[in-house]
Structure 1
């Protein structure tokens, strides 16, 4: 199946200007063009966009994503580099998730704290509670 840039933009939610930028940067080396020079996206480019979106979401800079896509063009000789890159990304994302879990738990504690204070009408009811009066899963986040 083939898609216009507008269709790809609608499907992916990526702005047409961004798709043009990716093309100019060489991220779609096999992309065809119509006789009038219009970009014609295929399933290959859509699959590439999924990988780009994943890597961007993981915090990888575009220049590094471009390098990865260049490695893909090299074929089998770059398998080791690509494998290592994905392992590094996974480690980085797992670290980000752990940090977000800590943040979420602190927010959960603060929600509990202010919910309890609000119900009592005063922070004094919560401020000096003994640890065993705080929900067990939130105790580590008491300040």
Structure 2
């Protein structure tokens, strides 16, 4: 399933401008765009956005949030590479 920026805005109670800002800050690097150039959010993007919202509630800055997210991605990749390699 995919979602529009309006869907995400309603889901998390944030403005469309906030979502665009987070995207421009690099916090949503994998959000795709459709032929019209509109952002198209996947389930994975929704999950990531939820994490970003939690970090923002806890007063993390965008660079700090990005660092935390990148560290979690690295851990995930290391774990999955081991699973793939050893299976």
Say yes or no: TM over 0.5. Answer: yes
Matched-pair contact (CA < 8 Å) for 1:2–1:42: yes
> Secondary structure in 1 aligned to 2:47?
helix
Matched-pair contact (CA < 8 Å) for 2:25–2:62: no
Aligned residues: 78
Name whichever structure is richer in helix by fraction. Answer: 1
Matched-pair contact (CA < 8 Å) for 2:27–2:62: no
If the length of structure 2 is used for normalisation, what is the TM-score?
A: 0.75
Higher relative contact order (CA 8 A, sep 6+): 2
Distance of 1:41 and 1:78 partners within structure 2: 21
Q: Structure 1: where are the runs of 5+ without partners?
A: 80-143
CA offsets, 1:72-117, max 9 Å, x none?
44x23998xxxxxxxxxxxxxxxxxxxxxxxxxxxxxxxxxxxxxx
Distance of 2:17 and 2:53 partners within structure 1: 15
**Please, what is the CA RMSD of the aligned residues?**
2.1
Distance of 1:41 and 1:77 partners within structure 2: 21
The residue aligned with 1:37 is 37
Distance of 2:64 and 2:30 partners within structure 1: 19
> Secondary structure in 2 aligned to 1:9?
helix
The residue aligned with 1:67 is 67
The residue aligned with 2:48 is 48
Q: Which portions of structure 1, spanning 4 or more consecutive aligned residues, are displaced by more than 3 angstroms?
A: none
Cα 1:41–1:78 change in 2 (3 A) is: closer
Matched-pair contact (CA < 8 Å) for 1:71–1:78: no
Q: Structure 2: where are the runs of 5+ without partners?
A: 79-87
Q: CA deviation at 1:52?
A: 1.2
